[in-house]
Amino acid sequence: MIFVLTVFVLFVCCLLAAVLAFAKAYKHFGSEIEKRFDTATAQTLVLQKLRSYDSGAVSVGKQGDTDYLGFSDTIDGESYMTYIYCYDGELRELFVESSAPFIAENGNTLFPADNFTATADKNTIDFTITCNGVQTSSHYCLRSGKEGAG
Task: Kindly report which listed range (47-51, 53-57, 124-128) carries the lowest average pLDDT score.
Answer: 53-57
Average pLDDT, the chain: 86
Q: Is the pLDDT of residue 141 over 70?
A: yes
Cα–Cα distance for residue pair 102/98, rounded to 1 Å: 9
- pLDDT given for residue 31 in this prediction: 74
User: For strand 90-97 and strand 108-112, is the pairing parallel, antiparallel, or unpaired?
Assistant: antiparallel
Q: Is the pLDDT of residue 121 over 90?
A: no
pTM: 0.74
CA dihedral sign, ordered 60, 70, 58, 132: positive
Cα–Cα distance for residue pair 90/2, rounded to 1 Å: 63
- pLDDT given for residue 144 in this prediction: 66
Q: How many CB atoms lie within 10 A of CB 94?
A: 20
Q: What is the 3-state secondary structure (H, E, C) of 34-96?
A: HHHHHHHHHHHHHHHHHHHCCCCCEEEEEECCEEEEEEEEEECCEEEEEEEEEECCEEEEEEE
The alpha carbon of 8 is separated from its chain's Cα centroid by a whole number of angstroms, namely 51
What is the pLDDT confidence band of residue 55, given thresholds at 50, 70 and 90?
low
Cα–Cα distance for residue pair 133/11, rounded to 1 Å: 41
pLDDT tens for each residue of 86-115: 999 999 999 999 999 999 999 999 989 999
- The pLDDT of 32-59, averaged and rounded, is 82
Cα–Cα distance for residue pair 119/113, rounded to 1 Å: 18
- pLDDT given for residue 36 in this prediction: 78
- pLDDT given for residue 148 in this prediction: 46
Task: Kindly report which listed range (88-92, 118-122, 136-140, 143-147) carries the lowest average pLDDT score.
Answer: 143-147
- pLDDT given for residue 71 in this prediction: 92
